[in-house]
Amino acid sequence: MRNSRLSLSLAVAFVSGLLWSSMPTSTLAQKQNSESPNATPAQSVEPVVDIPPPPSEQADVSEINFGAIVRVEVDTKQPNYRVPWNIGGMGNGVGTGFLVGDNRFVTNAHVVSNNRLIYIKKTNDPRPYKARVVNVAHDCDLALLEIENSTEFKTAFSGVEPLVIGDIPKLNTTVIAVGYPIGGERISVTRGVVSRIDFRPYSHSGVDFHLTIQVDAAINPGNSGGPVLQDNKVVGVAFQGYSGAVAQNTGYMIPVPVVERFLKDTADGTYDHYVDLATQTLNVLNPAQRIALSLPNDDVGVMVTEADPAGPAGSILKTGDVLLSIDGHVIASDGFIEIEGERVNLNEIIERKFAGDMVALEIWRDGARQDLKIELERFLPYLIQANTYDKQPDFVLFAGLQFQPLDRNLMAAHNISDLQVRYFYSYYSSEGLYRERPEVIILTAVLPDSANTYLQPYVHKVIDTINGKKIRVLQDVWDALHGDFSEKGHEDFHVIRCLGEGRPLVMERATAREAHDRIMAKYNVNFDNHIEVPEILSVEGLFDDIDDDASDKDDTKEKKQEKSAKSAPEAIKSASAR
């Protein structure tokens, strides 16, 4: 579940509990920029010495199944969004994992993100076992690993029982965090108390909110992916905490419902992601507002302020509807419901469902109650504000002009302050900007050459058209510059028009073509493009009404009607397939 309103500026300073033992300066800067403004890198977290409780309250660790808890060592390659053709910075880190089934180990997604090599080490066994990612869920910061050589697994873990998944622990009960945090090579055990169960942001993706459990056990770099135990059962997975400058002894674990959903989702070998109603709601606490909505004075209900047209509720819910219950659970006026004796955010019902599942809503509309059912699905437009992992940056380089699609990684790497770019970034989802531009293409750099002098003022501008072709995805840039496109009367020039700029960027075609290879050699560029079809284009029916290029303005009425009748894949085929 996501909250696009809060994703831009988290008011908390989260640090993931992954111990990085080596990270290039440029990579560290990129990581810092991609987090919230107050975030502190994991390296600066200082371990907090726990105050030992009285002997009578010490948790019993003698029966912990240490053989099922492993050290995860990872070599990484961090993408470079400023110089996208480069291999990126190298790094390595340490996390924790635990056995949950036959050659299946759970850890955090941020432990193995952008990996190029993974090793698993067993307690009291010096030998490293090469491993690989089976499934990864960046939206809930979980990953499933396996040892590549099944024979090695059977030998090394013969007689080792997987850890048993338990339940949500009660408040003020004792839990034990086990892992390999900073400060040593051997396994560590820390004891803490469950202090809060809440719906909070997951810092790995930067946009997703899920159920979390707060504990006062130290969750330090290296603890990530390790089990949090109660009565020798897993009640959570350690994953993030506040930096020492913000709070002391405050760590967070991923609770059992999130872990179980991940394991169930990946049981078929693929991960299908979380689903979303794609709505925004407002708590209805003000008495005058309740009277205006003709609501009973019973402290029940939250008002729908937005239902995204591309979301599953877009054609069903309306602005001003009041949600009274969800799957039979009464929604209080503060947006909370009661599940299993605990008050939790109403989104927890959606959290536990999968694509294709139905959710039952009771709403208040026009002074009367109505019952509705909505089929849930994944909502893709919000991903522009999510951190991206495990992929090479997309780009097109032409005659020194570097074009890239807008996303969170790009904003952080280039530190873009242009107001128009920030508008597209902030309102891409909520204002439906993705309908016209599935990818917002930015001119991110100009590699200086005599062929492109005086073009720096166009850097960080949104590209509207190139040679008369409307730019909706990155593939359009490649097609417009290498295909048979030109503006009428300017056939000998490349004409690039940016939003908000009266004067176009113009380059002579022959000069640009001659300069392209020279510039690539000068700047040691090995390839001039990397283009992947954006995932948002897979949404059926979302782009039925888009035109192919800017020259459509001259089409006849009949041609336009023919274009609008195309299916989504057909309408975008020329813009999305190389």
Whether 51 shows a pLDDT value over 70: the answer reads: no
Q: What's the CA dihedral at 447, 451, 457, 460 to 10 degrees?
A: -40
pLDDT digits 0-9 by tens, 378-395: 988 888 999 999 999 999
pLDDT digits 0-9 by tens, 423-445: 999 999 888 899 899 999 999 99
What letter does residue 296 receive in the DSSP assignment?
-
List the structure tokens of 199: 């719906």
From residue 540, how far is each of 168, 253, 366, 371, 428 by CA, in Å?
38, 36, 32, 27, 19
Range 224-238 average pLDDT: 96
CA distance 308 to 86: 38
562 within 8 A of 571, measured Cβ to Cβ? no
Domains of the chain: 14-54+65-268 (2.40.10.120), 279-375 (2.30.42.10), 394-576 (3.20.190.20)
Q: What is the 3-state secondary structure (H, E, C) of 301-369?
A: CEEEEEECCCCCCCCCCCCCCEEEEECCEECECCCEEEECCEEEECHHHHHCCCCCCEEEEEEEECCEE
- Note the pTM of the prediction, 2 decimals: 0.81
pLDDT digits 0-9 by tens, 121-141: 998 898 999 999 999 999 999
pLDDT number for residue 232: 93
Whether 462 shows a pLDDT value over 70: the answer reads: yes
pLDDT digits 0-9 by tens, 275-329: 999 999 999 988 898 888 888 888 899 999 999 888 899 889 999 999 999 999 9
59 within 8 A of 176, measured Cβ to Cβ? yes
List the structure tokens of 39: 């975030």
506 within 8 A of 491, measured Cβ to Cβ? no
